Each structure stands twice: as C-alpha cells, then as structure tokens.
Amino acid sequence: MVLARKTDAVTATTANQIVLSVNLGSGTYLLQAKVQASNPAGTDRDASCRIINQTDSDTILDHSQATLPGTFDFASLSLQGTVVSAGIAVVQVRCSGTDALPVSYSRASLAATLVDNLVTTGS
C-alpha cells in the first residue's frame, strides 16, 4: 500500500490545484482519497476536488464537491478510483477555488492499494 498525507492547508485560488501527488509502480491499484475543505471567509463558495491519473492525459477518476455556506464551514470530500498501469503512474488529488472565492483544503490523504485481480461489473 502507498499512503500519502498532507496536513498543511492548501488554499486554492485557481482550478485544479495539486493538493497531493503520488507515483505508483506497475500494477492494478484501488485508490481512496479524502480532503477536508473549509471556507476561510463569509461568502458562500463551492469546494471541488478530483482524483486524476496524470500519466493518462489527466483522466478524471472521480470528482466530489460541496457547498460551504459560511465562514469556517467545512466538508469532507471523499474520492475513489482504480488505476491499471504497465509502468509508472502519477496520481494526483486536485482541488479548485478562485481568487475571489478561495477554498482551503487540509488533512488530505491518498491511499493506493495494490490488488492482484480487480474485477468490475456493471456499467
């Protein structure tokens, strides 16, 4: 298992700001990520995070969002996905905000569990 953590806050003032990044070796991985988003000011704002396979043309594996209605309101955003890689894969958690409406992201974690066989069903 590969585990990346970042306790320091990242204030997102642009779209797709990197909060966490991890390099994975070849294999099939189950990914789980969690980020705490908080509103550093009084105006309502939207928190938005994605888990991305940067090596595969920034393929979005999952997306989560929440509305933060007031000062110091927070939400936990959870993400999950899978990556199958024949070589090195760079997986990132990216979150968004704007200059006018920044969002603070902290307590970020990303776990990548190597699995032998992953079978998916359904669409």
Q: What is the CATH number of the domain that holds 82?
A: 2.60.120.1340
How far is CA 55 from its chain centroid?
15
In a domain, 55, yes or no: yes
Q: Work out the number of other CB atoms within 10 angstroms of the CB of residue 75.
A: 16
User: Residue 120 pLDDT more than 90?
Assistant: no
In a domain, 102, yes or no: yes
Residue 63: name the closest of 30, 96, 89 by CA.
Answer: 96
Domain count, the chain: 1
Residues shown for the chain: 123
In a domain, 123, yes or no: no
pTM for the model stands at 0.89
Q: What is the mean predicted confidence (pLDDT) over 69-79? A: 90
- Residue 10: which domain range? 2-115
